[in-house]
């Protein structure tokens, strides 16, 4: 089982009020098709979460998520569209850094008052281990996406750019601290 580890809190998502943080760490699960990991929503912004899930052997990481625009931002290329792009970028980067497939399923529709509230931006997608978007949904409708994930692609990507091989595991101490602004170690 996985329980959402990273809990956000902002004026439209009072999650620190409603949720207690997950206590089971980062997991991967054997299925009949592949070994998969699941991370939830705010988790998607954390490279540590993707890394630990990949180190557990996940070949595909799923991100069920509910993220959207405030009305004021939606059509502003410097804000709303840049936020959407950042959301896709960080998840594609997890695929790249770890040599895994990533599948992000994001909510569509509107919640709250028409002129306020949140417009969920949909745009669910699957990308391959080089971060190439294979299939992508619209921002509006409840689409169904199908993508073929191939272990050969995963293997070739990890062979061509073997990032996991070269990790400096002797030098990542401190990543479990809030700040390193005081002398460390």
Identity of the residue, 78 or 114, whose beta carbon is nearer to its own copies in the bound complex = 78
Q: Which of 13, 60, 86, 100 binds its own copies (CB under 8 A)?
A: 86
Residues 39 and 53 sit within 8 Å (Cβ to Cβ): yes
57 binds its own copies (CB under 8 A): yes
| 1 is an interface residue for its own copies by CB under 8 A | no
Interactions with its own copies, residue window 141-160 (CB under 8 A): 160
CA distances from 53 to 29, 50, 60, 64, 66 (A): 10, 5, 10, 15, 21
The Cα-based distances of 86 to 61, 102, 106 in angstroms read 18, 15, 14
Binding residue (CB under 8 A) for its own copies from 12, 85, 112, 141:
85
Closest CA to 58 of 40, 41, 87, 33: 33
Binding site for its own copies (CB under 8 A): 5-10, 21, 25-26, 42, 45-52, 55-57, 78, 82-83, 85-86, 89-90, 92-94, 96-97, 130-132, 160-161, 163-164, 166-181
């Amino acid at each position: 089982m996985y329980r959402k580890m990273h809990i956000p809190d902002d004026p439209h998502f009072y999650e620190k009020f409603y949720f207690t943080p997950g206590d089971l760490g980062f997991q991967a699960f054997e299925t009949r098709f592949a070994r998969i990991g699941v991370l939830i929503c705010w988790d998607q912004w954390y490279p540590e979460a993707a890394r630990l899930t990949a180190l557990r052997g996940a070949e595909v990481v799923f991100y069920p998520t509910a993220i959207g625009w405030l009305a004021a931002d939606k059509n502003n290329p410097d804000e709303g569209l840049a936020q959407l792009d950042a959301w896709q970028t960080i998840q594609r980067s997890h695929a790249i850094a770890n040599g895994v497939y990533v599948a992000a399923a994001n909510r569509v529709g509107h919640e709250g008052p028409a002129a306020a509230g949140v417009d969920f931006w949909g745009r669910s997608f699957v990308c391959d281990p080089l971060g190439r978007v294979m299939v992508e949904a619209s921002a509006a409708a409840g689409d169904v996406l199908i993508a073929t994930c191939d272990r050969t692609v995963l293997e070739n990507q990890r062979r061509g750019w073997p990032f996991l091989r070269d990790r400096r595991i002797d030098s990542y101490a401190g990543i479990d601290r809030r700040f390193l602004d005081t002398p460390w170690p």
